[in-house]
Amino acid sequence: MISFNKNKYGYKVCYKELGKYKLKIHCICNSLDLAEWHIQWYENHQLYDKQNNPIYKPTWYIIPIKTYLEYKFRTRGCPF
């Protein structure tokens, strides 16, 4: 089992829209506290995807980055 407090690679903040099955990565965070702060902010504001369409009733997830390869090849900039 992965411990959320001892993850050295960071966390992915992902969302899934209502009625869809695919998770989409919204941002990458270095700490769990920052990822939780992002989710709190996203729940209170209207968000848009890469094509500038509103995100309809998202469900948010925090997923740890597990391996060095995933950490190395994950985009660190703004996904928009």
DSSP 5-54: GG-SS-EEEEEE-TT----EEEEEESSHHHHHHHHHHHHHS--B-TTSPB
- In which domain, by residue range, is 47 found? 9-71
Q: What is the mean pLDDT of residues 47-53?
A: 84
pTM: 0.76
Tell me the pLDDT band of 4, cut-offs 50, 70 and 90.
low
**Domain assignment present for 4:** no
Amino acid at residue number 45: H
Q: What is the mean pLDDT of residues 37-63?
A: 89
**Domain assignment present for 59:** yes
**Domain assignment present for 78:** no
**Domain assignment present for 2:** no
Number of folded domains that form the chain: 1
| Residue 72 φ/ψ, nearest 5 degrees | -70, -40
Tell me the pLDDT band of 48, cut-offs 50, 70 and 90.
confident
**Domain assignment present for 77:** no
**Domain assignment present for 57:** yes
